Every structure is written in C-alpha cells, then in structure tokens.
Amino acid sequence: MAVASVRRNGNAHPLTKFLRQQGADFYLPMIGVIGFLVVWQILSSTKILSLPGPIQVFADERSRYLIFHPFYYNSPLDQGLARQTLISLTRVAQGYGLAAIVGITLGILVGTSKALNKSLDPIFQFLRMVAPLAWVPISLAALRQNEPAAIFVIFITSIWPILINTAVGVREIPQDYKNVSRVLRLSKKTFFLKILLPSALPYIFTGLRIAIGLAWLAIIAAEIVMSGVAGIGFFIWDAYQQNYVTEIIVAVVYIGAIGLILDRLVGFLQSKIAPANR
C-alpha cells in the first residue's frame, strides 16, 4: 500500500504538483504572519507592550482612513500613504540609480587596478562607516536644499556595497579566463563584454540588492530629519508629533512592504540577467 501511495504521488499531474508547491509557498508565510499578529495582540492586550494591537489599529478611524484611502490629497504635506510612498520612491530611484552607475564604474576601475585600489580603499572604508543620519546635516550644509540633500544621502549610503562587491567580482575572475583572453588576443572591449562583465555580474547584483535596502532606509531617515519634505518619513515624524501611534504603525507596514518588494524586484532581475546556474 505504501509503495502504491508513493507511486501515485510520484505520478501526480504537473498541475497538481504546482498547486501543492504554491500552497506551501503561500500558507506557510501566512501562518507566520498570523502568528506574529496574534502574539502582538496578546502583548498589547496584557499591557506588556505599550502599543496598540492590530485590532486597535484597524478599529481606529484615522488609520482605517489611511488604509482605504491611500491616494487622498489635501495639500503637499497632507497626502495618502501611497502618494507619500511614491514621492519617497522617486528620490530613491534617483539616488540609487546614480549610486549604481558610479559604484559599478568605480568598482570595475578599482578591481582592475591594484594601484588605484590601494590609493582609494582607505577613503572608501572611511566614508562607508559614516551613518546615514550623519550625512543629513552635512548634505544640507553643502547643498542648501532639502531635495538634492535627500538624494545625496541615498547616493552616499547605497554606493558602498555596489562599489565593493563589483571590485571583488572583478578581482575574482578566474586566472584561466585571463590566460585565454591573452592567448586569443581579445580586445579590451571583447574582454569586458565576454569575460569581465559576465563573471562579475553575480557580485554586482549582490551589491545592488544590499544597496536597495540601504537606500530605502536612508530616505526614511533623511525625510524624518528634514523639515517640510513630503514623503513617508516625514509622514511618520508628523504623526509622532501629533501622537497618532496607529498611523505610525500603518506607515511602518508600508515601509516594510515596499522594502520587501524592492528586494524581491532586484532579486528577480538577478535571476533573469545573472542566474546562479548559468
């Protein structure tokens, strides 16, 4: 009977197998999320945690309005969470895009030149240790405007994992590949496109994936500190000053969800452009 059962399962229809796998991928995370909400509600109800529980958050009229009206607009600083998030994402796209271009370019240069690496590595290591919040007053003092200062904070925070991982990827190109390029007398352009870039891509995407999380964290921190700048960070700080704790919790859920989506998006691009089993 056991053998027959194994055979039946082994010969299951491909659609059945797919649905079983999708069910496991869906239900297990849902169990984890529900368990977290239950624990949170218990801690809140027993006053161990001085925060409203998920039931109280959803019951609050202001937080419910935020959940069901994410695109409302009253003024530049009074907008729905979806609008605030889009404003923050626009800044992240600018700062992160610039960091990707500069980081990959510098990483390739540093990775291919030992002299350049020794010259610049102390500077890179020094600058990457500076916390994102420390860059906020410096960028404001240097640029005098909130918008470019916020973009600079994202750039300077997210560039280091891209740069360092790219440089490591270039240095880790197998020596055999380099020897073959010399034997075949490949041009610099061909070596770059056919050997260097494909070999370094997994490292580059590792840096990009780390950097997107740092960029999202940096913009939240920057918007909290900078006054009068619309965005989800400003929304959280404004809600805190008015003691709207339930609104803060809803915004935090937005931040976590967007951060997860950004990470998965870069991971998806990596799976398409630089798959592990290439």
CATH code, domain with 97:
1.10.3720.10
> According to DSSP H, which parts of the chain are helical?
2-10, 14-45, 54-59, 61-68, 81-112, 114-128, 132-143, 146-171, 175-183, 188-191, 197-225, 232-241, 245-273
In b/e form, how buried is each residue of 159-196, taking b as 16+ CB within 10 angstroms? bbbbbbbbbbbbeebeeeeeeebeeeebeeeebeeebb
Whether residues 20 and 148 fall in one domain = no
Chain mean pLDDT for the chain: 82
Whether residues 42 and 131 fall in one domain = no
Whether residues 217 and 243 fall in one domain = yes
Domain membership of residue 15 as a residue range = 2-50
Closest Cα to residue 265, out of 199, 218, 214, 208? 208
3-state SS track over 128-153: HCCCHHHHHHHHHHHHCCHHHHHHHH
Span of 5-9, 29-33, 161-165, 267-271 with lowest mean pLDDT = 5-9
Q: Which residue type occupies 165?
A: N
Whether residues 115 and 244 fall in one domain = yes
Q: Look at residue 5 in the predicted model and tell me its pLDDT.
A: 46
Could you tell me the pLDDT band of residue 6, with boundaries at 50, 70 and 90? Answer: very low
Residue 204 resides in a domain: yes
Distance CA 278, CA 274 (A): 7
pLDDT tens-digit series, residues 169-220: 888 877 777 767 777 777 777 777 777 788 888 899 999 999 999 999 888 8
Q: Look at residue 55 in the predicted model and tell me its pLDDT.
A: 85
Helix/strand/coil for 172 = coil
Residue 55 resides in a domain: no
Could you tell me the pLDDT band of residue 154, with boundaries at 50, 70 and 90? Answer: very high
Distance CA 72, CA 66 (A): 9
pLDDT at 233 over 80: yes
Helix/strand/coil for 173 = coil
Could you tell me the pLDDT band of residue 166, with boundaries at 50, 70 and 90? Answer: very high
Please give the share of the chain, as a percent, with pLDDT higher than 90. 17
Q: Look at residue 157 in the predicted model and tell me its pLDDT.
A: 92
Whether residues 223 and 250 fall in one domain = yes
Whether residues 41 and 73 fall in one domain = no
Q: Look at residue 156 in the predicted model and tell me its pLDDT.
A: 92
Give the H or E element holding residue 75. strand 73-75
pLDDT at 275 over 80: no
Instruction: Give the CB-side neighbour count of residue 112, counting CA atoms within 13 A.
Output: 14
Whether residues 158 and 37 fall in one domain = no
Q: Look at residue 22 in the predicted model and tell me its pLDDT.
A: 57
Could you tell me the pLDDT band of residue 102, with boundaries at 50, 70 and 90? Answer: very high
Whether residues 236 and 261 fall in one domain = yes
Residue 58 resides in a domain: no
Tell me the mean pLDDT in the region 7-19.
Answer: 56
Residue 278 resides in a domain: no
Tell me the mean pLDDT in the region 255-274.
Answer: 87
Whether residues 25 and 156 fall in one domain = no
Among 1-5, 111-115, 183-187, top mean pLDDT goes to 111-115
Residue 182 resides in a domain: yes
Does residue 245 contact residue 51 with C-beta atoms inside 8 Å? yes
Please give the share of the chain, as a percent, with pLDDT higher than 70. 87
Residue 59 resides in a domain: no
Closest Cα to residue 139, out of 128, 150, 130? 150
pLDDT tens-digit series, residues 18-36: 556 556 566 777 788 888 8
Residue 245 resides in a domain: yes
Distance CA 201, CA 178 (A): 17
Whether residues 40 and 77 fall in one domain = no
Count of domains observed in the chain:
2
Question: What tokens were used for 145?
Answer: 């405007």
Whether residues 43 and 151 fall in one domain = no
Residue 57 resides in a domain: no
Whether residues 36 and 156 fall in one domain = no
